[in-house]
Amino acid sequence: MTKSVFYHAGCPVCVSAEQDIVSLIGSDKVEIVHLGEQKSRIDEAESKGVKSVPALLTPSGNVLHLNFGASISDVKG
Amino acid sequence: MTKSVFYHAGCPVCVSAEQDIVSLIGSDKVEIVHLGEQKSRIDEAESKGVKSVPALLTPSGNVLHLNFGASISDVKG
């Protein structure tokens, strides 16, 4: 895995964090996943250790949870 | 301001996040500040909007609070 993955759910705090992350890391180095629109990827996010969004899965496999926006259970609902 | 500033306090979750952030953004683009060792900069961090560590202050002035490690009040103590 060479790209980071930024999981979010469209909430204002997510969008703000997304703009910062993309600007810092570079848009070519991060995949953006909207879990509200791509519910099929919620299981993937959970299996990677994502507990809330927005979160950044790094190439090393660590998950950085950013400014708390919503829990994964909220996104499922 | 062209550099990001990563504020932390030496806790394990801080160090782990630091390694990821430096790796993602590039060590030349982020200043690392250990608030436990540089208590004179706690006021600066608070004035920028840092509420807990680890946190990343971006060049645009936004603060991204990462995996919750410690509150600013804990660092002061």
- Chain A: nearest CA to B48, how far in angstroms? 15
Low-confidence ranges of chain A (pLDDT < 50): none
pLDDT of residue B2: 81
Rounded average pLDDT over B45-55? 91
Q: Rounded distance, CA A46 to CA B11, Å?
A: 25
Q: What pLDDT digit, counting tens, does each position of A35-50 carry? A: 999 999 999 999 999 9
pLDDT of residue A69: 64
In chain B, which residue's Cα lies nearest the Cα of A5?
B24
Q: Which of A20, A29, A60 sits opposite B64 (nearest CB)?
A: A20
pLDDT of residue B68: 60
Which residues are B43's β-sheet partners?
Answer: none
Q: Which residue, A57, A66, A65, A64, is CA-closest to A1?
A: A57
pLDDT of residue A17: 85
What ipTM was estimated for this complex? Answer: 0.77
Q: How many domains does chain B have?
A: 1
- B64 vs A: CB within 8 A: yes
pLDDT of residue A30: 96
CATH classification of the domain holding A55? 3.40.30.10
Which chain B residues contact residue A17 at CB under 8 A? 64
- Whether the pLDDT of residue B69 is over 90: the answer is no
pLDDT of residue A68: 61
- Chain A: nearest CA to B4, how far in angstroms? 9
Which of B5, B13, B19, B20 is the best residue to mutate to test the A interface, defined by the most A CB atoms within 10 Å of its own CB?
Answer: B20
Q: What pLDDT digit, counting tens, does each position of B1-46 carry? A: 589 999 999 887 778 888 889 999 999 999 999 999 999 999 999 9
Q: Which domain holds residue A39?
A: 4-76
Is B2 exposed, middle or buried (CB count within 10 Å of its CB: 0-12, 13-18, 19+)?
Answer: exposed
In chain B, which residue's Cα lies nearest the Cα of A62?
B20
pLDDT of residue A4: 96
